Chains A and B, each alone.
Chain A
Amino acid sequence: MSTQFIINDLKASVEGKEILKGINLEIKGGEIHAIMGPNGTGKSTLASALMGHPKYEVTGGTAHLNGEDILEMEVDERARAGMFLAMQYPSEITGVTNADFLRSAINARREEGNEISLIKFIRQMEGKMKELEMNTEFAHRYLNEGFSGGEKKRNEILQMMLLDPKLVILDEIDSGLDIDALRIVSNGVNAMRSEDRGFLVITHYQRLLNYIKPDFVHVMMQGRIVKSGGPELAERLENEGYDWVKEELGIVDETVGQA
């Protein structure tokens, strides 16, 4: 069965303040959806609410991955069901090596007694690190600790590649990447494109979308998707900014605001 991810009228609040005001989105396996939008309009909130961050309370609506209600699940269950979020600000965890962490994450998807062998794991991990042009020394560093902005982003993609998720959300994966890294990371994402995997790519820049070609582009404002289109929409936003969208829709303050 090809993947299907359906978000229906999703509402979420943080610290009592409603941020998402009814999101509707359908992503099929093989599709790439991009979400753009000014700062503070709820893009990361959408990602966090879908992944189950404890600070974000879902107050209405549903989200189903291949028929399964993911909002009912714990964070780890969502991940094992196929959700993956490359975070805008990944955590640093002292004392836990990247390799130990990755192996735990892989083994969490396997039955007890059927853990991945160390040799196979290292082969897989080093293979993917090579694709991402990461020095294998990063396997032995503590998780994200002291990683540069770009190194953290690459490490997020490394995790995605090893965990083989069904629905991938990339939150500003391009921020902090130099030009070469942008190409490398994009190649990694493109290599993962497949019929049973859907992508939701949050970005501010059309540049990323030159590498990762979206099928659909959505604009988020005030905690809603206010406009959707094809790749040409991203190009117009890059050239003209958001004012014309606001004008068209009669929006004065595009942020989630106090309302």
Chain B
Amino acid sequence: MSIQLSTPVNRQAAEALSRSKGEPEWLTAKRAEAAELVETLELPKVEKTRIDRWNLSAYGQYKPAQPVSSAAELSQDIQAFVPESQSGLLVTRGSGAVFSTLSDELKAQGVIFTDLETAAREHSAIVQQYLHSVVASNEDKLSALHSALWNGGVFVYVPKNVEVDLPLQAVLYNDDADATFAPHVLIVAESNSRVTYVDNVITTGSAAQVAAIHHGVVEVVAKAGAKVSFASIHSMGEEVVDISIRRAALDNDARVEWIIGDLNDGNTLSDTKSVLNGRGSSSDSKVISIGSKKQKLSLTTQAVHWGKSTDSQMITRAVMREEATAIINGITKIEKGATKANGEQTEKVLMLSPKSRGDANPILLIDEDDVTAGHAASVGQVNPEQVYYLMSRGIAKIDAERLIIYGFLAPVVSEIPIDAVREQLQRLLERKLEA
């Protein structure tokens, strides 16, 4: 099955574009190789979701973005996503970065926070070492396509023992549907470092209203004892297909925490995975989603346990309105030898209309005896007994239902450790639930 792209992807075009941007040779070669693979590889098999029927043609073209000199010059609707306190801020628009800043203190400690294209030029060796080390270019047609086309993006590097207290914040937005919007986020946390990274992925203007694609890949490398908190809230327009593949590779005693808000208005393929290689490493993921209209959502969380005494926790909660469909997969894989591993997952879907659909698939694949694992999944509607109970205290039906719906999401929302993220998520949830 091949996808018809609006712009053909081939070796020559990929090389030419890479050279025109002054990228290092190794990167040009990687892109060229990936472009060739696009032709031969198949689309990934996504559980119960025919992504081959989604409109995957509108990748657009690379369009350089015009930088701004201060955050104040960003448009109003973008500024709304910029929090007051952060250690660093990076803004990308369409295919490229427009603004970035990082506190002097962190710079002095050797922290790098910049767009990935710049990083590939200025910190070539280290980017080369880690780029595609977690999500390979040759996994399937989509990974190859992304490797050939990615642009803008984010690079976070935290040296050994450095603790970044305030979040590093990125706003990745597109306001031009003809611009390729394929950011690649690469986070490298050296041993015993700590960092919190938060991003918002949004579309505004024409990009929110005509067919377009956001194709993002996130790679997190957490070295021994490092702790990475990653929060990402996506709220893109109805015509935008969001393909987001996130993956972390963890060494001994490393920890990753994922908070994902899939609040797009368009079709979404979201896959968040932790590979627990090191002994004692752990992962926690929380995914929240609201679907409306005819949206199709495929939300997957995964944990792969290789190391002994590894722990994974995964929670997904989705509310489906109108004719939205959600396929929610939780995959806990415990490999042979990963003794004393523990993996727990919960997927819950609340359907608000008779035409909405939800499907929760907890999958446990366990090749080791000495482990513990658990799962819980449920798909249901607002419980009429609960509505009756609330109404019997004088609360109007619509308010009763609202309390129950927010209540369904609350156990996850209230656990989000970063106040600003929690509040923003709450605001976007309200917008989407009350639209």
| Smallest CB separation, A122 vs chain B (Å) | 18
Per-residue 0/1 for B386-409: is the Cβ within 8 Å of any A Cβ (1 yes, 0 no)?
101111111111011001101111
- A108 lies within 8 A of chain B by Cβ: yes
Neighbour of A104 across the interface among B383, B388, B403, B410, CB < 8 A: B403
- B411 lies within 8 A of chain A by Cβ: yes
Contacts of B385 in A (CB 8 A): 91
Per-residue 0/1 for A94-109: is the Cβ within 8 Å of any B Cβ (1 yes, 0 no)?
1110001100110011
Q: Contacts A53-B388, A87-B389, A91-B386: A76 and B396 contacting too (C-beta < 8 A)? A: yes
Contacts of A96 in B (CB 8 A): 403-404, 406-407, 410
A101 touching B403 by the CB < 8 A rule? yes
In the bound complex, what is the Cα–Cα distance between A90 and B403 (angstroms)?
16
Size bin of chain A's contact surface: 20 to 34
A95 touching B409 by the CB < 8 A rule? yes
Q: Contacts A95-B408, A142-B407: A108 and B399 contacting too (C-beta < 8 A)? A: yes
A95 touching B411 by the CB < 8 A rule? yes
- B384 lies within 8 A of chain A by Cβ: yes
Q: Contacts A93-B404, A95-B406: A108 and B392 contacting too (C-beta < 8 A)? A: no
A51 touching B407 by the CB < 8 A rule? no
Q: Contacts A75-B392, A76-B391, A105-B394: A54 and B384 contacting too (C-beta < 8 A)? A: yes
Contacts of B390 in A (CB 8 A): 93, 101, 104-105
A93 touching B394 by the CB < 8 A rule? no
Contacts of B396 in A (CB 8 A): 76, 108
Which of B386, B392, B397, B406 has the most C-beta atoms of chain A within 10 angstroms of its own C-beta?
A: B392
In the bound complex, what is the Cα–Cα distance between A33 and B404 (angstroms)?
34
Q: Contacts A53-B388, A54-B388: A93 and B393 contacting too (C-beta < 8 A)? A: no
In the bound complex, what is the Cα–Cα distance between A100 and B410 (angstroms)?
12
Contacts of B407 in A (CB 8 A): 93-96, 142
Majority SS at the chain A contact face:
mixed
In the bound complex, what is the Cα–Cα distance between A100 and B384 (angstroms)?
20
Contacts of A238 in B (CB 8 A): none
In the bound complex, what is the Cα–Cα distance between A75 and B406 (angstroms)?
22
Per-residue 0/1 for A194-224: is the Cβ within 8 Å of any B Cβ (1 yes, 0 no)?
0000000000000000000000000000000
In the bound complex, what is the Cα–Cα distance between A51 and B406 (angstroms)?
25
Contacts of B386 in A (CB 8 A): 91, 93
Q: Contacts A93-B386, A101-B403: A74 and B391 contacting too (C-beta < 8 A)? A: yes
Contacts of A95 in B (CB 8 A): 404, 406-411
Contacts of B408 in A (CB 8 A): 94-95
Per-residue 0/1 for A128-144: is the Cβ within 8 Å of any B Cβ (1 yes, 0 no)?
00000000000000100
Contacts of A52 in B (CB 8 A): 388, 391-392
Q: Contacts A95-B408, A104-B403: A74 and B389 contacting too (C-beta < 8 A)? A: no
Contacts of A100 in B (CB 8 A): 403
Interface residues of B in 230-268 (CB under 8 A from A): none
- A3 lies within 8 A of chain B by Cβ: no
Q: Contacts A54-B384, A91-B386: A79 and B392 contacting too (C-beta < 8 A)? A: yes
A80 touching B404 by the CB < 8 A rule? no
Contacts of B406 in A (CB 8 A): 95-96
A108 touching B389 by the CB < 8 A rule? no
| Smallest CB separation, B285 vs chain A (Å) | 19
In the bound complex, what is the Cα–Cα distance between A163 and B394 (angstroms)?
9
18 A-B residue pairings within 8 Å (CB atoms): A75-B392, A76-B391, A76-B400, A78-B392, A79-B391, A91-B383, A91-B389, A93-B386, A94-B408, A95-B404, A101-B390, A104-B403, A105-B390, A105-B394, A105-B395, A108-B396, A142-B407, A163-B393
Mark A residues whose CB is within 8 Å of B. 51-54, 74-76, 78-80, 84-85, 87, 90-91, 93-96, 100-101, 104-105, 108-109, 142, 159, 163
Given contacts A52-B392, A109-B394, 14 further A-B contacts (CB under 8 A): A51-B392, A76-B391, A76-B397, A79-B395, A85-B392, A91-B388, A93-B404, A94-B407, A94-B410, A96-B404, A101-B390, A101-B403, A104-B390, A105-B395
